[in-house]
Amino acid sequence: MTTTTLDKPVKAPTFRHVSASRRIRNNLATGVVWACFAIALVPLVWVLLMVVTKGFEAITSLSWWEKSQKGVLPDQFAGGVYHAIYGTIVQTAVAAVIAVPLGIMAAVYLVEYGRGWLAKTTTFMVDILAGVPSIVAALFIFALWIATFGFPQSAFAVSLALVLLMLPVVVRSTEEMLKLVPDELREASYALGIPKWKTILRIVVPTALPGMLSGILLALARVMGETAPVLVLVGYSKSINTDLFDGNMASLPLLIYQELSNPEPAGRLRVWGAALTLILIIALLYVAAAVVNKLLTRNR
Site for other proteins in 77-96 (CB under 8 A): none
Q: Is 210 exposed, middle or buried (0-12, 13-18, 19+ CB in 10 A)?
A: buried
The 10 Å CB-count burial string (b at 16+, else e) for 152-166 is: ebbbbbbbbbbbbbb
Residue whose CB is less far from other proteins, 66 or 190: 190
Of 214, 115, 127, residue with least CA distance to 172: 127
Among 58, 85, 90, 111, binds other proteins (CB under 8 A): 111
Residue whose CB is less far from other proteins, 94 or 271: 271
Among 52, 89, 209, 257, binds other proteins (CB under 8 A): 257
Q: Rounded CA gap, 70 and 68, in Å?
A: 5
Binders of other proteins among residues 14 to 53 (CB under 8 A) are 15, 18, 22-23, 25-26, 28-30, 32-37, 39-41, 43-44, 46-48, 50-51
Residue whose CB is less far from other proteins, 39 or 62: 39
Residue whose CB is less far from other proteins, 110 or 266: 110
Q: Nearest distance from residue 80's CB to other proteins, in Å?
A: 19
DSSP 8-class letter at 203: I
Q: Can residue 142 be called a binding residue for other proteins (CB under 8 A)?
A: yes
Q: Can residue 240 be called a binding residue for other proteins (CB under 8 A)?
A: no
DSSP-assigned states of every residue in 122-172: HHHHHHHHHHS-HHHHHHHHIIIIIIIS-PPP-HHHHHHHHHHHHHHHHHH
Residue whose CB is less far from other proteins, 116 or 242: 116
